[in-house]
Amino acid sequence: MTFNNHLFITLGVISTLFAAGLSSAVFGSYDNNQRPQIENLSIVYATSVDKRDFNNLREVFHEDAILEGPGFKFQGIEEIVAGMEGIRMYDKTQHFVMNQDLKIDNLSASNRVYTIAYHFFKKENVSFRLDWGIIYSDSLKREKGRWKILNRKLDLIWQKEERI
C-alpha cells in the first residue's frame, strides 16, 4: 500500500468520525482542548501579581483590556501594568486560584474564577493579614491562536483583617 493510499484511508476515517460526531472521543472537543489555556491565564495572573512581575500581565490581558474592582478601573494593558504597582503597598500577597466556571463559545469565552487573596502588611510595626474572597468575572477572546482577557471584574465577596 502506498503513502497516498494510507493518507486517503486516514482522511476517510477522520471525516467519518467527524460526520458521526465521534471526533471528540478521538481528538478531544474544542472546549476541552481550549480549557487549560484559558484556566492557566488566571494562574499566570496570580503568580505575576504575587511575584510583582507586572510586565508578565501582557501575556494575560488583551491590549485593550479593562481590569476593574472596588475603587479602581484600569483601561488598556499599559494602565493595567502601571496600576498594579499599587499592590506594592503590601509586603507580600498570595493568591489561591480555585474553581473556575468556564463557558467557551468558539473564539470568545466567559469565566468566573474563585480566588482567595492574602495580603500581608504592617501597621505601626505590627504584622497584619487582609484576606479577600474574590470572584473574578472574565470575558475572553482568542486571537492569533492565543486567549487573552478582555475584561476582568473583581467582585469582593468577603474580607477579613487580622493581626498575625
Which residue in this structure is represented by grid cell 469582593?
Answer: 156
List own/partner pairs for 77-82 with CB under 8 A and 24 or more apart: 81/54, 81/55, 81/57
| Domain membership flag for residue 20 | no
| Domain membership flag for residue 44 | yes
Torsion of CA 158, 159, 160, 164, to 10 degrees: 130
pLDDT band at 23 (very low <50, low <70, confident <90, very high): very low
| Domain membership flag for residue 67 | yes
For the chain, what is the domain count?
1
CATH number reported for the structural domain that contains residue 117 in this entry = 3.10.450.50
Q: For 42-65, how does the pLDDT look when each residue is reduced to its tens digit (9 = 90+)?
A: 999 999 999 999 999 999 999 999
- Please answer whether residues 75 and 66 qualify as being in contact, where contact means their C-beta atoms are separated by less than 8 angstroms: yes
**CA–CA separation, 129 vs 141, rounded Å?**
35
pLDDT band at 25 (very low <50, low <70, confident <90, very high): very low
Give 31 or 155, the one with higher predicted confidence: 155
| Domain membership flag for residue 9 | no
| Domain membership flag for residue 22 | no
Q: For 93-126, how does the pLDDT look when each residue is reduced to its tens digit (9 = 90+)?
A: 999 999 999 999 999 999 999 999 999 999 999 9
Q: Exposed, middle or buried, 148 (CB in 10 Å: 0-12/13-18/19+)?
A: buried
Predicted structure pTM score? 0.80
* Mean pLDDT score, 16-40: 67
| Domain membership flag for residue 16 | no
Measured between alpha carbons, how far is residue 1 from residues 4, 6, 9, 21 in Å? 8, 7, 11, 29
| Domain membership flag for residue 55 | yes
The DSSP output letter for 125 is T
For residue 66, the number of C-alpha atoms closer than 13 Å in the C-beta half-sphere is 8
Range of the domain at 141: 29-163
CB count in 10 Å sphere of residue 21:
8
| Domain membership flag for residue 4 | no
